[in-house]
């Protein structure tokens, strides 16, 4: 289909983009991998597209002095893949879309879009990322756990731009894994799980487990995390914890996977992700 008519404005700076957004019915265009298909289907019909794709101030990734990491919203998947120091994060990014999507799609766009089957939100949740938002009213920082509110719904105001994502350092000895059951054509996750764990004194001292593709939005499986904490990380302990993978979720049922099957795969892939993380050298 053909999108509804719209005006086009190319922002020359972040301030210019924020001024354009403050004026009314406008949407930000970055990589366009998510917004343009919605416009072609007329599921989105903004009056103005504000193109921020050339704003170099929103690109790039770097380690922070405290051992954390910050990544600009306009950093592409391909650039993030090159920059990440984490093997499991690279595994996740390699499985997103195809080469063209990874070369054009942006990290900030993926997070702001809040697609229920997107891989990047689960990775960000497990890594305890925060989202940095800017508007003419100022800047605010929101934990990603809470920013994602539902299917294609996030805590971003119409006049705000997601400028970067940042996290603190991982605990000593932490290791992670990303495991997914993907749709064979699209590569989207039917179930995707990121697990990050650390041991101390023979027991698990840090646990983050996040899932995508299961419910209306990517989420932290906090019941799994609680069951892991303090356990010995044995196969029995991991299996018992993984049984809580879909606790509190309204599990999706669609042409790709029924509710019962998807629920069971959430358990299976959660167990696999935790086991793979625990198998990494400390």
Residues with Cβ within 8 Å of residue 201, at least 6 apart in sequence: none
Return the pLDDT at 159. Answer: 94
Q: Please report which confidence band the pLDDT of residue 26 belongs to, taking 50, 70 and 90 as the band edges.
A: confident
Per-residue model confidence as pLDDT tens digits over 91-111 = 999 999 889 999 999 999 999
Using CB atoms within 10 Å of the CB of residue 249, give its burial: 0 to 12 exposed, 13 to 18 middle, 19+ buried.
Answer: middle
- The stretch 162-187 carries a mean pLDDT of 95
d(CA 81, CA 164): 16
45 pLDDT tier (thresholds 50, 70, 90): confident
User: Mean per-residue pLDDT for 171-180?
Assistant: 97
User: Looking up tokens 């794709």, which residue turns up?
Assistant: 53
Total-model pTM: 0.94
Q: Which domains does the chain have, with CATH numbers?
A: 7-51 (3.30.43.10), 59-167 (3.30.465.10), 175-278 (3.30.390.50)
Give the pairing type, strands 48-51 and 7-10. parallel
Nearest partner of 82 among 66, 100, 103, judged by Cα:
103
pLDDT > 70? residue 245: yes
Q: What is the pLDDT of residue 120?
A: 97
Please tell me the predicted confidence (pLDDT) of residue 168. 97
> Using CA atoms, how far apart are residues 180 and 245, in angstroms rounded to an integer?
14
The mean per-residue pLDDT over the stretch 266-273 comes to 98
pLDDT at 31: 81
What average pLDDT does range 4-19 have in this prediction?
A: 93
* Average pLDDT of the chain to the nearest whole number: 94
For residues 42 and 51, give the distance between their C-alpha atoms in angstroms, rounded to a whole number: 19
Query: Tell me, what's the pLDDT at 279?
Result: 96
Quickly state the pLDDT bin for 282 (edges 50, 70, 90).
Answer: low
pLDDT in tens, 195-231: 999 999 999 999 999 999 999 999 999 999 999 999 9
Average pLDDT over residues 12-20: 95
Which pLDDT value is given to residue 39? 87
């Amino acid at each position: 289909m053909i999108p509804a008519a719209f005006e086009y404005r190319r922002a020359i700076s972040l301030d210019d983009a924020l001024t354009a957004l403050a004026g009314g019915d406008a949407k930000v265009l970055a990589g366009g991998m998510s917004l343009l298909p919605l416009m072609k289907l007329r599921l989105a019909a903004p009056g103005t597209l504000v193109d921020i794709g050339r704003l170099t101030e929103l690109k790039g990734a770097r380690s922070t002095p405290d051992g954390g990491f910050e990544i600009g919203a306009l950093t592409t998947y391909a650039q993030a893949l090159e920059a990440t120091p984490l093997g499991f994060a690279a595994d996740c990014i390699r499985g997103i879309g195809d080469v063209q999507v990874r070369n054009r799609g942006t990290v900030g766009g993926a997070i702001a879009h809040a697609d229920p089957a997107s891989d990047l939100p689960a990775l960000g949740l497990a890594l305890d990322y925060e989202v940095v938002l800017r508007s003419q009213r100022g800047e605010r920082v929101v934990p990603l756990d809470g920013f994602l509110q539902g299917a294609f719904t996030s805590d971003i105001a119409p006049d705000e731009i997601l400028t970067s994502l940042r996290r603190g350092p991982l605990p000593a000895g932490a290791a992670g894994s990303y495991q997914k059951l993907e749709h064979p054509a699209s590569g989207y996750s039917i179930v995707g799980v990121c697990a990050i764990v650390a041991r101390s004194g023979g027991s698990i001292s840090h646990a983050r487990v996040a899932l995508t593709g299961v419910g209306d939005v990517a989420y932290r499986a906090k019941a799994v995390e609680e069951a892991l904490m303090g356990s010995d990380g044995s196969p029995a302990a991991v299996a018992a914890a993984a049984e809580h993978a879909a606790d509190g979720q309204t599990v999706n049922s669609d042409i790709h996977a029924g509710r019962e099957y998807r629920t069971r795969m959430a358990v299976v892939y959660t167990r696999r992700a935790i086991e793979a993380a625990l198998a990494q050298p400390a």
